[in-house]
Every structure is written in C-alpha cells, then in structure tokens.
Structure 1
C-alpha cells in the first residue's frame, strides 16, 4: 500500500494527538496510550483486509477514535438513549478533529469531505468504503478486545453483541472474522451467535 508524504504527515499528527490519551492499555509487556494503540491496530487490520484501500480510507481508519477520551461515556445518561447520543456526538467530534488536522496537512476539500463521510458511517451496506471501515472496526474488536470483554459479561450479553456485530459486517468480513484465533469459550459463543 503506497504511503504519500501527506498521508505519513497526517498519520504523524493523528498519532501525536492520540498519544495524549491519559488512558493506557498493556500489550505485549508494554503500556500504550489506549487510542494510539487502537489507531495502529486499525491500520494493521485495514492493510491485511483491504491492501488496495484508498488514501481517504487509510486516513479514516487511523483517526477513527481520535481523542475519544475528550468526550467520556459518563458525560451522557447511562442508558441506551444516552449511549446512542454519545456515539452520534463522537462521530461528529472525530470528523471535526480529523478535518482540522487534514487541513493543516494540506489535503483538498474532496478528501477531507470523504474522510468525514466515512467517519460519520454514512450509507453502511451501500457505500463500499463505509462497509470496509465497519468490517475493519469489527475485526479489530474481535481480534483485540473480544476476549477481555468475554471475561466481564455473561453468555447472553456476548451473543447479543456478536449478533449485532455480525449484522454490520459483509461476507468478506465474516470470512476474515472466522479466520481469527479464539479461546474455546470465545469460539463457542461466536458459533452460537451466528447459528441463531
């Protein structure tokens, strides 16, 4: 996958912003700012899943959660309506943050608009790149966050989340998800979720 000078500069600025995350995650014996690690995982999975991804899609994957900690979940009501409102506000927030950085790097308006379109998850199932982004988000969750999540929740909740995740994915995404490694319980719940 080709990396233009602008793309590398945008990645650098996205990563500098995410490096300020006060939340850390431990991975392979080291501590990382949580959203910086997430952004790099998004890029890695995108590179595997869609090696010919456009520059706009590469940019979007890298800034998908940019500065997410600045709008904590706790600042909204702790119910379904509060959760949905938080998610909508986050999408707009990420699009604004990303656009500001992309302007600084010198991207044209068409590219900036496209990144915002993708960050806002417009036309899922209809727009190929929005769908690819959603597949990558789901694959990152399944590869890196699903197993720790399993330890904290009961089977019914996990199955419900897996079914919602599966519905958002394409056939290509399903195939990639089934190629990941899972624990025995993790695999059993994936199998149960997708057979219902």
Structure 2
C-alpha cells in the first residue's frame, strides 16, 4: 500500500460520487449529494478516530458510492423490499469500490477487507466494522437527523433514534452527545433514549 494508491483510490471514488445528479446545499454551496456524504464520512472518521486503518478510511469514503444508481423506488415499497434494497446496496457499493481498488493496484486481501467492512459484516464483533458503523450513525445524527424529523412523526423518529443509538459503541454514543443539536431535536433524543 502506498500513498499514491490511496490518493488515486480516493480521487476515483470522489469522481464517481461527483456524478450524482442529486444535489444538496451545504454552507450555501450546491454539491453532489453522495460526494458531500463521502466527505462528511471521511472527515467525521478522522476526527473521531484519526488512527483508522487505510481500509476503514476507504470504506468510509465509499460507503454510499453511486447510491443514486440503485434508487429505493426500484424495489417494492414495503419492509421486505426495503431490506432487500439495503442488502443489495451493500453488495453494489462493495463491488463498485473493489473495481476502483483493483485499478489502484491494491492487493486481493486488502480489497476483500474493504468489501467486508462496506457490507458491515460482524457488526458488534469486528472492531473496524463497529468503528465504521459508529461513524455512519454520527454522520446521520449530525447532518441527516433534522431532515428526517421534518418528514416523520414523533413516535417514528423516537424509534429511528433508538435503533441508531443501539447500533453504536459506548464511545460512539458519548461522541454523539457532543453534537450541537437544536433544542427540539435534543429533547426528542433524550425522550427516545429515556435520558
């Protein structure tokens, strides 16, 4: 593994995500949605756990790579459809990333490890899978909780918050409580967690 391999892989992941036709405004600037998500994931990882391995760093950047190519609407709009979509997405993200890593010259073992992480295997048992899940949950709570609150009723939101919380390690949970939430959202979180 070399710095050049990592730089190339990162640049190619960014280039893929930059093609997202969906945009989001961040600090008054419109950005491709998945490129913004990728950058938020990477920045949060390095802030939360600066010593993260190269495999985790790439997995964080590629977590949602090209997600718009597999829209939720292309699956039945029920619980079974949702779970199938989530499962297929993980495989799609892992495969898309593996192709980039192969092009960057990474070893088969390294590529297999990144795929393992992106597919979130052995959550709660594998330290790096858990680290990645913590970062996913932290990014969700910091940047995407509020849009969810606008769309869903209070009871559903409490359920979403509790599920998110239960996926995190204790260290991740402590970090989540440092996020600057709005007063309303913090009240909702406290209610959901029984704090």
On whether the aligned pair clears a TM of 0.5, the verdict is yes
Q: What are the ranges of 5 or more consecutive residues in structure 1 without an aligned counterpart? A: none
How many pairs align? 194
Bigger CA drift: 142-151 or 16-25? 142-151
Distance 1:147 1:179 in 2: 16
Q: What are the ranges of 5 or more consecutive residues in structure 2 without an aligned counterpart? A: none
Does 2:57 align with 1:48?
Answer: no
Report the equivalent of 1:24. 23
RMSD: 1.0
State the Cα deviation string for residues 37-81 of structure 1 (Å, max 9, x = none).
000000000001110000000010000000000000000010111
The alignment partner of 2:20 has SS state of: coil
Does 2:33 align with 1:34?
Answer: yes
The aligned runs of 1:1-196 (5 Å cut-off) are 4-195=3-194
1:5 CA displacement: 1.8
After the TM superposition, list the runs of 4 or more consecutive aligned residues in structure 1 that deviate by more than 3 angstroms. none
The alignment partner of 1:126 has SS state of: coil
Distance 2:118 2:183 in 1: 34
Distance 2:128 2:41 in 1: 14
Distance 2:171 2:4 in 1: 30
